[in-house]
Amino acid sequence: MDICVQRKVDFIIIGGDLFDSNIPDMALANKVVQKVSNVRSSGINFYVVYGSHDFSPTQTSIVDLLESAGLFTKVTKGKMINGKLQLEFKTDEKTKAKLCGISGRKLGIEKEYYNILDREPLEKEQGFKIFVLHGAVSEYKPEYTAESESIPISSLPRNFNYFAGGHVHEKLIGKEYGQVVVYPGTLFGADYRDLEATAKGQERGFFIVNFSTGLDNVVFVPVSVCEYELVEYDANGKTSAKVQEDLLQVGNARHSEKLVLLKVSGQMSAGKTSEVDFQRIRKAFKENGAVEVLPNYYKLTSREYAAIRVATVGEEVHKIEERLFKENIGTISVTNPKLKGDAGVRLSQDLLKVLKQSKKENETKGSYETRITDAAIETLDVKEALAE
């Protein structure tokens, strides 16, 4: 954001998931609000859509608060007319750019919005037009995201000068089908895979777009959050004691101000995986200057002992939850269609999101219980049934 102020950009677009939750940690939210507020006072507008993380179907999101405070402008205003979704453009006063978009949702709802989108008025509108979307475009999805939801490019309205995307974790400019679709990627990383890619040299940052009547250029601005160090260790044929010794030795070297990704794999010849004290190893790294150490020993096994693990490396938490719900929902016999199939998975995810919320500071136990219970009842839509 400081770079945006320095470069005197006209406005900033956020394609969703500024936060990883609709109600983020308040200390973090406070920092963000201060920063956004400073940028706004420089005359830079923020145009946003929800991401799948910072939206809640039942509760107010931090994005709503920022909009109410006049810091953000959502560009997703629209209404249903005869079963079609009609979006309204928001015109940026300074540049006269026209923006509209669709927020991120889960399990097909976002796709459904595109299916019912009334494209014609959007396509006929004159001027420099930007469409803001959260979801990934199928044609440009990175290979490892094949199983995640996406929107085919044919779903997007035509005749827009620029499509500003959010969800994808890699920077990407797609121009193959006559539409310029741009994803800046993550600035830091949502999971180990992202961080490893960064450590291996993948650039992180954002795009600055120059335009007049048409698109002039799209320039990538790299942003380095911290320095990374990827330590890959092959434990094949070594004992647990030897692995421990080697890793401690690596840890005891200097790692000044670096985020260390410690990746240990291979089958040990003797000893159990639990005998490798990763806490101690982590401590050694940190004592020698590492900002943080993220060990990944999913592929570490032992001839003596093989634990059963859930295959989760590189998978985001919400993806794991979704997968487990999908895998197991069929095993429960229910008649209510809201509890079956995709609808059931969606409801389970929403309920889990509610139940995950922790007690706030200064919140009494009773208030906390009431808040969670009310939110759960609203999510399950059983208020009337309970009243009876």
Partner 1 sequence: MTVCGQIVAGEVGQILIREKSGEKIELGDLLVVESSGGFLIIQVYDLLYGSQISKLAREQMAGLKLEGYGVGLEFFEPQLRNYVLAQGKVILQFAGKPQSAKVLPDFFGTVRHVEAKDLSFLSKPPNPIYLGNVRSGSKIIPVPVFLNGSEALVHHILIPSATGRGKSNLVKVMLWSILGQSKFGILVLDAHDEYFGRNGLGLKDHPKSRQGLLYYSINPLPGTSTLAINIKTIEPEYLDGIIPLTDAQHQAVRRYHSEYKEDWIENILRGTHVNGVKDITLTVLQRVIRTKLSISIENDEITSTNRVFSAAAGQCTVKEIVGALEDGKVVVVDTSKIGDEAELLIGSMIATDALTRYQKHKAEGNLADKLPISIIIEEAPRVLGQERLEAGDNIYSRIAREGRKFKVGLIAITQLTSVIPRDILTNMNTKIILGNEMATERHALIDSAAQDLSDDDRMIASLDKGEAIVTTIFTKFAVPIQIPLFDDYVKEQKSPEKQPDLQYTG
Other CB atoms within a 10 A radius of the CB of residue 192 amount to 18
Q: For the segment 52-71, give every residue that binds partner 1 (CB under 8 A).
A: 57
Q: Of 11-19, 147-155, 283-291, 312-320, which segment contacts partner 1 by CB under 8 A? A: 147-155
User: Is 134 in the active site?
Assistant: no
Q: State the nearest-atom distance from the C-beta of 51 to partner 1, in Å.
A: 14
Rounded distance between C-alpha atoms, residue 168 and residue 20, angstroms: 14
Categorise residue 193: left if φ over 0, alpha if ψ from -120 to 50, beta otherwise. alpha
Other CB atoms within a 10 A radius of the CB of residue 361 amount to 7
Is residue 22 part of the contact set for partner 1 (CB under 8 A)? no
* Cβ–Cβ under 8 Å, residues 77 and 68: no
Q: Which of 139, 191, 203, 246 binds partner 1 (CB under 8 A)?
A: 139
Residue with smaller CB distance to partner 1, 142 or 314 = 142
Number of residues that bind partner 1 (CB under 8 A): 35
Name the token pair of 35. Answer: 């920063």
Is residue 339 part of the contact set for partner 1 (CB under 8 A)? no
Rounded distance between C-alpha atoms, residue 137 and residue 200, angstroms: 25
* Cβ–Cβ under 8 Å, residues 206 and 187: yes
Q: State the nearest-atom distance from the C-beta of 140 to partner 1, in Å.
A: 6
Q: Which of 45, 155, 179, 186 binds partner 1 (CB under 8 A)?
A: 155
What binding mask, one character per residue, do residues 73-112 give for partner 1 by CB under 8 A, x or -?
Answer: -x-xxxxx--x-x-----------------x-----x--x
Q: Which of 106, 134, 141, 171 binds partner 1 (CB under 8 A)?
A: 141
CA geometry: angle at 229 spanning 226 and 234, to 5°? 155
Q: Which residues contact 187 (CB under 8 A, 6 or more apart)?
A: 204, 205, 206, 223, 225
Q: Where does this chain bind partner 1 (CB under 8 A)?
A: 57, 74, 76-80, 83, 85, 103, 109, 112-116, 119, 138-143, 145-147, 150, 152-155, 174-177
Catalytic residue ranges: 53
